[in-house]
């Protein structure tokens, strides 16, 4: 870390120490300081933050205070420094430089599967099609992160399989790379007292716990008793003063329940700090296209999530409908890529076609491969940010990229041809287009009026 970033890191640490002495009194004073030195930048953002800090009626007034009163100070400070200084300020600057230097995508985050093994057998889980015997070794995970940091990447996300099958190795990685943030999608059933204490010690590991909805829906897919185990894990994490969130997949069958106000309020009551909604993707030979939401259902999800996060103290991300905030599709290294437990480097966690393996190529070499460059050269795949994906909303784009690059299916158990996958999306894309175009037009009009 250079001198400038070291000073910024120390500045954040000192700011947090000052706030912790009296959050209610000192947070507004910190905003006064920020306004003084902002030099006219981030005016609207600073206005929103000040309102959230000072207005008791603001939905995030209580949320911000929870971060200082209900989360361990070491965790809050560690995540703040690693996220805002390392991953955002220092990391982004380096990534931008390398994007220009190499004329290819450089990711902001890397998703990787430590293992394909899982302690559950969830109905319809596409990850299970990889098999349960694949693993990235500790040294391979370490090397991926070392290479990533050379590119400016300080944010890593674990998927699987169930990553916590490897929880001892993951804590060792947190220790070695204490300057990074590690987010983990997990079923949470392996979170126990000992592991929670380890999370508290390292301070840079955040679980995103998978839920299908309420108890009946969750147990119906994940197995009897899983919902109660999730509750137990969240109670433990809350008692230990740790940050955690929720991951939800919405389908045509569960969209109404899992995006209901009752469910959202339950997540707040359970102490979650964020919820990440994912659109069902028909990935794998055994996928069920009928589970893809209808245009009307997807529109309902879009409207609900935007309303909730503007009015309730829980930050929500909508993976498929929030593309406008990140410039369209973020895969292919544009903002992230995926490395499976066999070492295959996929452009997306949902698109399993690759021409590179981490055991044969460096990260940079993979980013310059034909498949990744196809993403680089074609992004954004649609000017309508409600139609960002080259598979779901623009299946003709994925067909062309796989064919031109010569990429192969990375599903070792049941390889799926790109034509088979894209064919499941053709009608969906056709049905969604007119609805999305009208919604996008309305969206642009509202923003223009607001500006």
pLDDT-derived band at 414 (thresholds 50, 70, 90) equals confident
pLDDT of residue 445: 84
pLDDT-derived band at 44 (thresholds 50, 70, 90) equals confident
Q: Examine the pLDDT at 120 and tell me if it is beyond 80.
A: no
Residue range 420-436: average pLDDT? 98
Q: 270: phi > 0 → left, psi -120 to 50 → alpha, else beta; which?
A: alpha
Average confidence score pLDDT of the chain? 91
**45 or 187, which is more confident:** 187
Residue range 345-353: average pLDDT? 97
CB 244 within 8 A of CB 67: no
Task: Encode pLDDT of 293-307 as tens digits.
Answer: 999 999 999 999 999
Phi, psi dihedral angles at 413 (to 5 degrees): -85, -45
Q: Examine the pLDDT at 48 and tell me if it is beyond 90.
A: no
Q: Examine the pLDDT at 331 and tell me if it is beyond 60.
A: yes
pLDDT-derived band at 11 (thresholds 50, 70, 90) equals confident
**416 or 412, which is more confident:** 416
Element containing residue 202 per DSSP (H, E): helix 193-202
pLDDT of residue 124: 54
Helices (H), 225-335: 226-239, 255-258, 261-269, 295-311
pLDDT of residue 209: 96
Show Cβ contacts of residue 176 under 8 Å, excluding neighbours closer than 6 positions.
142
pLDDT of residue 15: 83
Q: Examine the pLDDT at 38 and tell me if it is beyond 70.
A: no
Q: Examine the pLDDT at 34 and tell me if it is beyond 80.
A: no
CB crowding 127-152: b at 16 or more within 10 Å, else e: bbbbbbebbbebebbbbbbebbbebb
pTM attached to this predicted model: 0.93
Q: Examine the pLDDT at 129 and tell me if it is beyond 60.
A: no
Query: Side by side, which strands form the sheet with 345-346?
Result: 315-318, 274-279, 245-250, 205-211, 181-186, 155-158, 109-112, 336-339, 345-346
**What CA–CA distance (Å, rounded) separates 59 from 307?**
12
pLDDT of residue 57: 92
Phi, psi dihedral angles at 405 (to 5 degrees): -85, -20
Q: Examine the pLDDT at 214 and tell me if it is beyond 70.
A: yes
**What CA–CA distance (Å, rounded) separates 304 from 320?**
14
pLDDT-derived band at 122 (thresholds 50, 70, 90) equals low
Element containing residue 68 per DSSP (H, E): helix 61-69
pLDDT of residue 225: 82
Cis ω before 408 (30° cut-off from 0): no
pLDDT-derived band at 37 (thresholds 50, 70, 90) equals low
**What CA–CA distance (Å, rounded) separates 327 from 315?**
20
Q: Indicate the DSSP class of residue 38.
A: S
366 by Cβ neighbours in 10 Å (0-12 / 13-18 / 19+) ranks as: buried
Q: Examine the pLDDT at 3 and tell me if it is beyond 60.
A: no
């Amino acid at each position: 870390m250079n001198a400038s970033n070291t000073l910024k890191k120390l500045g954040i640490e000192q700011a947090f120490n000052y706030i912790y002495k009296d959050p209610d009194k000192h947070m507004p004073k910190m905003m006064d300081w920020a306004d003084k030195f902002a030099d006219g930048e981030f005016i609207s953002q600073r206005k929103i933050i000040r309102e959230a800090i000072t207005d008791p009626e603001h939905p995030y007034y209580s949320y911000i205070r929870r971060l200082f009163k209900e989360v361990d100070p070491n965790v809050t400070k560690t995540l703040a420094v690693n996220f805002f200084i390392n991953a955002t300020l220092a990391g982004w600057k380096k990534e931008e430089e390398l994007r220009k230097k190499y004329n290819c995508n450089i990711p902001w985050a890397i998703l990787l599967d430590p293992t394909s093994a899982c302690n559950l057998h969830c109905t319809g889980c596409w990850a299970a099609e990889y098999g349960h015997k694949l693993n990235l070794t500790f040294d391979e995970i370490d090397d991926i992160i070392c290479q990533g940091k050379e590119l400016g990447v300080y944010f890593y996300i674990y998927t699987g399989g169930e990553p916590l099958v490897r929880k001892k190795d993951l804590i060792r990685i947190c220790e070695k790379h204490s300057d990074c943030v590690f987010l983990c999608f997990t079923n949470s059933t392996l979170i126990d007292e000992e592991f929670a204490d380890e999370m508290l010690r390292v301070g840079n590991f955040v679980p995103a716990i998978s839920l299908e909805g309420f108890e009946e829906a969750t147990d119906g897919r994940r197995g009897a008793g899983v919902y109660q185990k999730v509750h137990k894990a969240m109670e433990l994490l809350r008692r230990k003063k740790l940050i955690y969130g929720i991951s939800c997949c919405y389908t045509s069958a569960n969209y109404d329940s899992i995006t209901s106000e009752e469910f959202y309020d339950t997540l707040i009551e359970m102490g979650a700090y964020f919820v990440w909604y994912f659109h069902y993707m028909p990935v794998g030979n055994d996928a069920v296209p009928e589970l893809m939401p209808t245009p009307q259902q997807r529109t309902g999800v879009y409207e609900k999530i935007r309303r909730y996060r503007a009015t309730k103290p829980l930050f929500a991300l909508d993976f498929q409908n929030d593309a406008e905030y990140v410039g369209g599709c973020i895969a292919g290294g544009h903002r992230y890529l995926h490395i499976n437990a066999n070492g295959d480097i996929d452009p997306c966690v949902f698109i399993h076609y690759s021409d590179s393996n981490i055991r044969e190529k460096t990260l940079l070499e993979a980013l310059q491969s034909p498949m990744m460059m196809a993403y680089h050269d074609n992004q954004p795949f649609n000017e309508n940010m409600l139609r960002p994906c080259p598979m779901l909303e623009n299946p003709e784009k994925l067909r062309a990229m796989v064919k031109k690059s010569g990429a192969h299916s990375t599903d070792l158990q049941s390889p799926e041809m790109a034509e088979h996958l894209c064919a499941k999306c053709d009608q969906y894309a056709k049905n969604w287009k007119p609805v999305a175009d009208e919604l996008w037009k309305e969206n642009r009009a509202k923003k223009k009026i607001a500006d």
